[in-house]
Amino acid sequence: MSEENKTNEVEEVKTAAAEVEAPSTEKAPKKEKSIKEAPAAKVAEGDDAFDWEEFEKKGFGEGYSRKKREELASIYEDTLTTVEEKKVVSATIVSINDRDLVLNIGFKSDGLVGASEFRDTPGLKVGDQVEVYIEEQENALGQLVLSRRKAKIVKAWELIQDGYENDKVIEGMVKRRTKGGLIVDVFGIESFLPGSQIDVKPIRDFDVFVGKKMEVKVVKINYTNDNVVVSHKILIEKDLEKQKAKILENLEKGQVLEGVIKNMTNFGVFIDLGGVDGLLHITDISWGRINDPAEVLSLDEKVNVVVLDFDDDKKRISLGMKQLTEHPWDKLDAGIEIGSKVSGSIVNVADYGAFLELYPGVEGLIHVSEMSWSQHLRNPQDFINIGDKLDAVVLTLDREERKMSLGIKQLTEDPWTKSDVLTKYGVGTNHKGIVRNLTNFGLFIELEEGIDGLVHVSDLSWTKKIKHPSEFVKVGEELEVQVLELDIENRRLALGHKQLEENPWDTFQSVFQQGSTHKCTVISKNDKGATLELPYGLEGLATHKHLKKEDGSEVEVGETIDFVVVEFSKDDKRIVLSHTNTHTKPAPSEKPAKASKPAKAKAANKSNNEDVSTLGDLDALSALKAEMEDNTKKANAAKKAAEVKKEKAAPKAKKEASAEEAPATDEASSEEEK
């Protein structure tokens, strides 16, 4: 040992001795000199260690040996506990008052905790152990700060974590309902129980669980937001696994089971068979036709069902309920046969017909063709609607196939077999009917129930060029027609609308003579030429070469200008005109090829062109238009008068053809025809 170390050790001993000496000086002042002298002698001698035995013999150490002193020191050190902040420790209640509890955690000082934090544990007494959270070992006032509330939170999260990691079942208390589920108190922490995790079947009323205890499992922890998600359904599913396995193991087709309706849809209901679900389709609920399962079933209702089918994995089970009762066709009255009259209600209407229910589960089809004697089919909804009570006649019956066809038109007499149909709808008779259908080639009119006829598009108007009947009339409107043809055997009627009026083309022939001039309006133009609007609603044609004006330009759409008739066809109902011919001489090819009068007469007509044109524009045309709009009697009288005139004009035409007369004679003859 170095000299320096020895010196230090001596100094420490002196200091310790001085500290021990101080309290004993007052009691025994006489020993002060001897105490100081004894150790000093040893130090002076340079001993390596302090002689404790000699020290104790002199009366120091109060009778404790060195070994005893070490034991006492170790006991004392054990009473000084080292504590860490932010930890949960166990504390002993030292005292209790109305405001606080004094707790001892083995630290150098006790801590105070408000009595309000121990409301959940009434009946505490001095000496009981409680868990507290060390917030601070020493605050600004030098006090130990403890918290019972935070200790509960920390402990709760530890238990929740343990339950999540070890898949433990935890008991919680449902505190309240929230959007989408329930709030459950788990160890003092509010956790969320989704509505879909409450039970294996849908829960419609969450309020029934509020205030009740419920076993749950922690399925998710969000440490960032301190959120906990629990599930009660997972516990039920585990309990049902055994039941499900047992049911599926013994499942067979035709087996009758009892179940509870857990969910309803528009196509059927799902039934809980005790751990496994099956589908009862809407068509297998009742032999009768139903539109919604809610009509005959309700949620949570117990029902008996039969297993119809299940897949290889036994995950989808098809169930039936109507199969538990006898089929209505087996109870069908034996007196019902072909030709029998039956009654029932319409349960369904389709495009092709309607179904009449005689009894629940016994239906017959009324095809649309059996609803009316009319040959032209219409929408079945034009005749009947769902819920209508009807009588019908059985047309076909197959009890084995459980099929039946019915008819309702058979309840009335066939109108085509009536005795008066030949005279009532004779050729030339006029009738009024309702337009039932339009086609590209014409329209069908119903004159009475079961009797209709066709009006071809060409028989709608004398003057208008109608491309489709919709341009002239609409479905449902009333139209007057005339019978053109009658075929009773094939039940056909050919009708016409324009035949109700006199054919105006007989009169137009004298008005729009070749070479006559008329004011026309260009309606439209295309590659072939132009369409012209003539008086009396007529339309004429003009090719591009006949549209040239005197200045070389072409007549445009919308212009009203003079045109000369170059061709008139009564049979084709066509009038061809030319504006070019109003200011130029027609080419030889354009001269009328078919002449009904001598060339001289045509020349006379051409020389007196102005006189001819006035017939279409002035008083004669106005009188003619009024005559066309007159009643049928006046039209017939005009027709007879025209025939008489033609007969008188014929001999004169022959004389003119045989003898060459002056143009003045031809002109007089022309005036007579007019």
Which two three-digit tokens encode residue 211?
A: 């205030």
Helices (H) then strands (E): counts for the chain: 13, 30
| Residue 521 CB contacts under 8 Å (≥ 6 apart), including other chains | 532, 533, 558, 559, 560
Answer CATH for 88-152 from 1.10.10.10, 3.20.20.70, 3.30.470.20, 2.40.50.140: 2.40.50.140
230 DSSP β-pair partners: 218
- 10-residue mean pLDDT profile of the chain (674 residues): values are 44 40 40 41 47 57 68 68 74 84 79 79 81 79 80 83 87 89 87 86 81 88 84 81 74 85 88 83 87 86 88 77 86 85 89 88 88 75 85 90 89 79 85 88 86 87 81 88 86 86 73 85 89 82 89 88 87 85 67 40 39 40 51 52 52 43 39 39
What element of type H or E holds 655?
Answer: helix 632-658
Helices 609-617 and 619-628: crossing angle in degrees, nearest 10, is: 40
- In our burial notation (b when 16+ CB lie closer than 10 A, e otherwise), range 214-242 reads bebbbbebeeeeeebbbbbbeebeeebee
CA distances from 315 to 251, 259, 264, 601 (A): 11, 16, 19, 102
CA distances from 207 to 203, 214, 656, 666 (A): 10, 14, 116, 113
CATH 2.40.50.140 fits 505-669, yes or no: yes
Answer CATH for 415-499 from 3.40.640.10, 2.40.110.10, 2.40.50.140, 2.102.10.10: 2.40.50.140
Best CA proximity match to 564, nearest among 514, 527, 521, 608: 514
Q: Are 503 and 491 in contact (CB under 8 A)?
A: no
Which two three-digit tokens encode residue 80?
A: 């000084």
| Residue 74 CB contacts under 8 Å (≥ 6 apart), including other chains | none
Do 328-411 and 505-669 agree at the fold level? yes
Under CATH, domain 328-411 is a member of which superfamily? Answer: Nucleic acid-binding proteins (2.40.50.140)
The alpha helices in 357-497, defined as continuous H runs, are: 421-424
Best CA proximity match to 321, nearest among 251, 268, 394: 268
What element of type H or E holds 112?
Answer: strand 111-114
pLDDT of res. 8:
46
The model's pTM is: 0.43
The rounded distance, in Å, linking the Cα atoms of 482 and 496 is 5
| Residue 479 CB contacts under 8 Å (≥ 6 apart), including other chains | 432, 433, 434, 435, 443, 445, 455, 473, 497
pLDDT of res. 78:
62
pLDDT of res. 16:
37
User: Within 10 Å of residue 463's Cβ, how many Cβ atoms?
Assistant: 15
Which two three-digit tokens encode residue 201?
A: 């079947």
Average pLDDT, the chain: 75
Give 465-500 pLDDT, tens digit per residue. Answer: 788 888 888 988 889 899 888 888 888 889 988 888
pLDDT of res. 614:
38
The rounded distance, in Å, linking the Cα atoms of 525 and 206 is 78
Burial status of residue 617 (CB atoms within 10 A of its CB: 0-12, 13-18, 19 or more): middle
Give 499-521 pLDDT, tens digit per residue. Answer: 887 777 767 777 888 888 888 99
Unique residue bearing structure tokens 């504590």: 83
Domain boundaries of the chain, sorted by first residue: 3-79, 88-152, 251-324, 328-411, 415-499, 505-669
pLDDT of res. 405:
92
Residue type, 129: Q
Answer CATH for 251-324 from 2.60.40.10, 3.40.309.10, 2.40.50.140, 2.40.50.100: 2.40.50.140
CA distances from 517 to 163, 534, 612, 646 (A): 109, 11, 8, 24
pLDDT of res. 300:
83
Residue type, 583: H
User: Within 10 Å of residue 371's Cβ, how many Cβ atoms?
Assistant: 21
Tell me the DSSP string of 146-204.
EEHHHHHHHHHHHHHHHHHHTT--EEEEEEEEETTEEEEEETTEEEEEEGGGT-SS--S
pLDDT of res. 627:
52
